[in-house]
Structure 1
Amino acid sequence: MSYQSVYAPGLFRGQVIVVTGGGSGIGRCTAHELAALGATVIITGRKLSKLESTAAEIREDRGKVATSVFDIRDEDAVKTGVQQILAEHGAIHGLVNNAGGQYPMPLANIGKKGWEAVVANNLTGGFLMAREVYTQHMKKHGGAIVNMLADMWGGMPGMGHSGAARAGMMNFTETAAVEWASSGVRVNAVAPGYVASSGMDHYDPVFARDVIPKLKEIAPLKRMAEEAEVSSAIVYLLSPGAAFVTGACIKIDGGSSLGAKAFPLVAHDRSQPYRGFHRASKPRAVG
């Protein structure tokens, strides 16, 4: 089997695209799709074992992939990491700022250390990656950047640290889109809602048992997203088809961010998922 992308074969042939957090979840799926479309994909992360596992899958599927191990929260490591990628591959045509992480916690219980850790993961690290890719290569050569947000519109109760960071990333996306446009750089974002991704298996067992099974009821489309449905939006924003799109955010949330609280949602099964990722597997929390 191979990735069943909706995009044209060879769309990214000859391009080098970096995917942070590419060893698991949405990052892994996106790396697979980009490689299937001809890109040389550089997946980054903190754990070599996860990266090598995904890289082995991509190579087995006859894709081109390399790994780069560093922490996006470490400024010096990011500078060095980007330098090494450019030295080895000669260019960075696209950046997918996917890496991040958070944990459920009410605001009153979040300590300073936990707050700063989540902001560093979901905002500062993405800024550092985008800045270095821009200053080291895209400022002269152009390119496309896609940042990862979340369904944080109107607040993110239970994950306020992540909501604040993701909202900050939206503003960064809009600012960078203006400042870097004259260099031929487009900067956009995606904002997934609840995705049936492996990241759900890292949440607290009680949260996984009591909350995650109910999440599909929140969206008017009455289901959770597939990883491939997020990846396809990312791929679009990286593609020539989005050449006049910058500073934008695609919401991939099944309508959950819409103001539908006073409107009764009807139970249905009319929304059919796009399951393009041939190696996808459901998180244990979803079943």
Structure 2
Amino acid sequence: MSYDTVFKNDLFKDQAVLITGGGSGIGRCIAHEMARLGATVVISGRSQDKLDKVIAEIQEDGGKAYGFTFDIRKEDAVKEAIESILKTVGPIHHLVNNAGGQFAAKLEDISINGWEAVVRNNLTGGFLVSKELLLQRMKETGGNIVNIVADFWHSMPNMGHSGASRAGMVNFTKTAALEWAHYGVRVNAVAPGIIASSGLDTYSDEHKKTIRTRAQKMPTKRLGTESEISAAVVFLLCPAAAFITGETLRVDGGVPNTTINYEVPDHNRLPAYDGFHRVDDSDFIKSLKKG
């Protein structure tokens, strides 16, 4: 079996992509699809075991993959890692700033350490990796950057630290798209809604209960899949998106369009796209997909 992509074979042949947070969830899915399309994939994270597992999967499927462990929140670590990646792999044509994370808490209960940890994960890290790759390579060769953000458009109760940092990343995307255009660099973002992915497994049982009820409030009446996010990322990286920069593509089931004045009738007319042949769902995620 191989990834059931909608894009043409060898779309990214002789190109390389760096995907931060590529050892699990959405990042793992993007890595597999990009490898399926001919790219040399470089994934990063803080757990070598996770990276090794994904690398083995990609190689078993006939693709090329490398893994580098470093902390995207630390400037010196990022500089050293980008230098090592370029020496080992060669030019990096595409960057997906996927690494990030958050925890459920009300603003009044978030410590300064908790706040700064999430902001550094979701905003500072993406800035550091983008800047360093620009300085060490893309300033001369051009390239594409896609930042993974979130559905924060109607505020983000219980995750205010994440909402603030994701909003910052959207503005960073717009600014970088302008400042780096003359280097031949396009910068865009993808904003996932609630995705049936391993990231949901990290939340408390109480928060998982609220997730179960949200699908029926969405226009799609279901959660998104990792493949649906990956497809959006691949599109923004591909030549067909050459006239798109500074944009944030929402992949959220239409949730920001909802209003208290209208409730979408129950239906099952918007089925999911799930092309990931190696999707590895937990029992919780499987139950969400069943509805």
Q: TM-score range by the shorter chain?
A: over 0.9
Partner of 1:271: 270
Q: CA deviation at 1:204?
A: 1.1
Contact 2:219/2:258, CA 8 A, preserved across alignment: no
CA deviations over 1:109-148 (Å, ceiling 9, x no partner): 1111100000000000000000011111001100000001
Q: CA deviation at 1:260?
A: 2.5
What is the CA–CA distance in structure 2 between the aligned matches of 1:125 and 1:69, rounded to whole Å? 14
Partner of 1:78: 78
Partner of 1:121: 121
The answer to whether 1:229 aligns with 2:228 is yes
CA deviations over 1:154-203 (Å, ceiling 9, x no partner): 21111000000000000000000000000000000000000000011111
AA aligned opposite 2:115:
W
TM-score, scaled relative to structure 1: 0.98
Q: CA deviation at 1:261?
A: 2.7
AA aligned opposite 1:228:
S
The answer to whether 1:211 aligns with 2:215 is no
- Number of residue equivalences: 286
SS at match of 2:256: coil
Partner of 2:153: 153
AA aligned opposite 1:285:
F
Partner of 2:14: 14
Partner of 1:262: 261
Partner of 2:40: 40
Contact 2:5/2:33, CA 8 A, preserved across alignment: yes
Q: CA deviation at 1:285?
A: 2.6
Contact 1:18/1:96, CA 8 A, preserved across alignment: yes
Contact 1:4/1:276, CA 8 A, preserved across alignment: yes
What is the CA–CA distance in structure 1 between the aligned matches of 2:199 and 2:119, rounded to whole Å? 18
AA aligned opposite 1:113:
N
What is the CA–CA distance in structure 1 between the aligned matches of 2:99 and 2:272, rounded to whole Å? 24
What is the CA–CA distance in structure 2 between the aligned matches of 1:233 and 1:81, rounded to whole Å? 27
What is the CA–CA distance in structure 2 between the aligned matches of 1:203 and 1:259, rounded to whole Å? 25
Partner of 1:67: 67
What is the CA–CA distance in structure 2 between the aligned matches of 1:230 and 1:119, rounded to whole Å? 22
Contact 1:12/1:39, CA 8 A, preserved across alignment: yes
TM-score, scaled relative to structure 2: 0.97
CA change 1:282–1:266 in 2 (3 A) is farther
SS at match of 1:187: strand
* CA-based RMSD: 0.8
Gaps in structure 2 of 5+ consecutive residues: none
Q: CA deviation at 1:219?
A: 1.6
Contact 1:212/1:285, CA 8 A, preserved across alignment: no
